Amino acid sequence: MAQRDKQQLKPGAGDATSAEEVLNYVIQELETLHQNVRDQLAEDITRLQTEKTGLIEDIDKLREQYRQLQSQQVETLSQRYIYQQQLWLKQLAQVLANNLQELLVQRFNEISANVGQGANVTIPSGEFPIPVLANHYTERASEMLASLDASVNRTFDMMERDLSSYESSLSQRLRNMESMELKGEALLENLVNRIRIELEEEVEQTFDPRDYDNSDTANSVHPHQLPPAESAIRQPPLPPAPPPAPAPAKQPASQIQIGVLLALISAVVLSLFNVSLKIILKAKAPRVIFGLFEVEGVVSPGFGNSLLILLIRLVVVMALMPVLATFLYPSVWKDLKRFIDRGDADLWQKVLGSAFFLFLSQVLIYIAIGNIPTGVAITIFFIYPIATVLACWALFGDRPSSLRFLAMGVICTGLLLAAVPSFGQKAIGDVTLGVSSAVGAGLMFAGYVLLTQMAAGKLHPIPFSLVNFAAIFVFSAISLIILPFGIDWGLPERWAVIVDPNVWGGLIFGGFLLGVLTLFSYLLNNFAIRFAGAALASVIGTLGPALTALFALVIISEKIPFIQVSGLVLVTLGVAGMTLEKMLKPPKKPA
């Protein structure tokens, strides 16, 4: 089949193949080659593990054989020594008996000869020759036994030295085998780690690594960056001596300055977004724009009206986002096609789950901004970095550092200073509803961040954002369809969509303005990350609450007490500290 495809791709063939088909064919071939290499490496790893198990079993068998051989040698030597000693004793006894017999016969013959010749043989009193001879041979036997014992001892000493030499040699060989086993395990571990690193580098090279921190921009507060939380997927320890990775190209100073400026403008646009949303929502008293004229607002800050504003905003976003996505990332549609064709259920769950959490966060922050001061609502919303860090600790065992605990304490103090004084203010809406909605929006955004981090690397951020926008649009439309049925089934009446027919023009214009601001901030933040990097752009993004409060004061004269300003400053410093700690934290050394 591959040969036929190659023949079709040759120049001069009947049907000309377009550049896109050639590219698709090359991508398919590369994916096939990648899969084949991974399968082959997996087989090699399995074979090495099998050989390692076999080596361990062989070493255990050799140790057991050595113990058996040592015990058998000791037993054999002891039996041989006893048998040899008994044999020597028998031979000695036989020699002694023969010598005694010969001496007795010789002595007897001498005595008989003397008697036959008539000699007078007198044996001295107290003397008898046989005992004397017995003592003489006993001494000789003792000497021979001593000599035999010394010879046996020398033999045993030689055998003991030989056994010690054999034992030392065998122990040395066993130690060599153990050393080879450890080296084999180290080589196998290094091979597995190198394969993992190469696969991760291939995945990272597929996308721009700087875009991984550039998450969905549907959020009205911080749509482009993830909070300073630890990664949800822990890296395994690196090998002892990994190959040095090429250092990333350093951005010129002029490009970094442009990136910082773009990130600052993006934060300004987000703050204008929040203030514009505040102007659209009605309040107890008309708002004065720049101290010149009053604006009543268009709709009340209820659940149904928040859904309606979100839907109108997303209509504008979905109309312009495909063009912007194609401009920023020309392969967006190919990535989306591969994402749909692949049918990765786990990735689909993460993408849709993150979109659902972001949808809930958007609705809740709209309600919060409508009921409490804009700067205070955005400040309380910044509870999400704390929730994200604690969730990573609970779910993945990623314990925060001491500096991060200190920053979390500063943020909590700032949140209390910003939220508690709101309950004593009169010229605002439902404070309890506003504060609880801001807290809920931050917690929902933390869930969105966790799922986005878990899906990072599997889908480029721009196609990921496009899918998120589409999913939030569907969730908003479905919610508005089923909301009337919920009202009929017992939901409060204030949850319904309540719009004066005379204000539809202003509502549509406001939704259009919010959609344009969303896309404009998205574009600015994308280029800021490309020029200055995601870490530096994240630090600039922490100015969101302060800029929101500043623009609310300048545009709609929304003043907040000094204690709430101090809380806002503490939250900004805490979030900036967490971001800087993450950015300046040295990489973990190889285990």
- The residue written with tokens 């046989």 in the block is 130
- What per-residue confidence (pLDDT) applies to 359? 94
Kindly give the parts of the chain with pLDDT less than 70: 1-17, 107-138, 141, 196, 198-253, 424-428, 585-591
In Å, what is the CA distance from 116 to each residue of 102, 111, 112, 176, 493? Answer: 21, 9, 6, 85, 160
507-511 own/partner pairs: CB under 8 Å, 24+ apart: 507/280, 507/298, 507/299, 507/308, 507/309, 507/312, 508/312, 510/276, 510/279, 510/280, 510/298, 510/309, 510/312, 511/309, 511/311, 511/312, 511/313, 511/315, 511/316
Span between the terminal Cα atoms of the chain, in Å: 46
The runs of H, that is alpha helices, within 456-588 are 461-488, 504-532, 534-541, 544-556, 562-584
Instruction: Take residue 467 and report the two structure tokens written for it.
Output: 């899918």
373, 422 contact by CB (below 8 A): yes
419, 377 contact by CB (below 8 A): no
Q: Is 579 exposed, middle or buried (0-12, 13-18, 19+ CB in 10 A)?
A: buried
* Helices and strands, counts by H and E, the chain: 16, 2
- The residue written with tokens 């000699």 in the block is 119
Q: Around 182, how many Cα atoms within 13 Å sit in the side-chain half-sphere?
A: 5
Q: Which amino acid is at 530?
A: R
345, 402 contact by CB (below 8 A): no
- Which residue, among 294, 319, 292, 282, has the nearest Cα to 507 in the 3D structure? 282
Nearest-10 Cα torsion for 529, 576, 408, 413: -140
- What per-residue confidence (pLDDT) applies to 245? 37
49-52 own/partner pairs: CB under 8 Å, 24+ apart: 49/188, 51/184, 52/181, 52/184, 52/185, 52/188
- What per-residue confidence (pLDDT) applies to 441? 93
- What per-residue confidence (pLDDT) applies to 219? 36
The model's pTM? 0.58
Q: Which amino acid is at 83?
A: Y
Q: How many residues does the chain have?
A: 591
- What per-residue confidence (pLDDT) applies to 354? 92
